[in-house]
Amino acid sequence: MITVSFHKDYLEDLYEGKTKKYKEFKSNPQLVKQYVKTVNILKSLTRIEQLYQFKNLNYEKKEGDLKGKSAVWVNKQFRIIFQETSSEGNSGIIDILELEELSKHYQ
């Protein structure tokens, strides 16, 4: 089973519905709803390869400045950047996804 962790407090707050102190997200409840839905999909995975079944997430391994990271789309504007981590002795099997950022594409 894959464990999802939150690298930044705002990511966990958004997931838990605590949007009051985040102006950008408070005014965009649809984005927060889509973010929660996407995180729930990530939490439901048993293997990272299952992300390829969700075509609308556009799962991709990043290159360039984000090399070593992966991303899935929340909507047409925002994506979740995350780090995949294997537990010791389980090379090739991803156990933890650490969510690092909810960002606008091309920013």
DSSP string across 37-75: HHHHHHHH-SSGGGGGG-GGG--EE--GGGTT-EEEESS
pLDDT value of position 2 = 82
For 72, the token pair is 């899935």
> What are the boundaries of each domain within the chain?
3-104
Q: What is the pLDDT along the chain (107 residues), one digit of tens a residue?
A: 788 999 999 999 999 999 999 988 999 999 999 999 999 999 998 888 899 999 999 999 999 999 999 999 999 999 999 998 876 655 556 778 899 999 886 65
Paired residues of 101 in beta bridges: 81
CATH homologous superfamily for the domain 3-104: RelE-like (3.30.2310.20)
pTM for the full model? 0.88
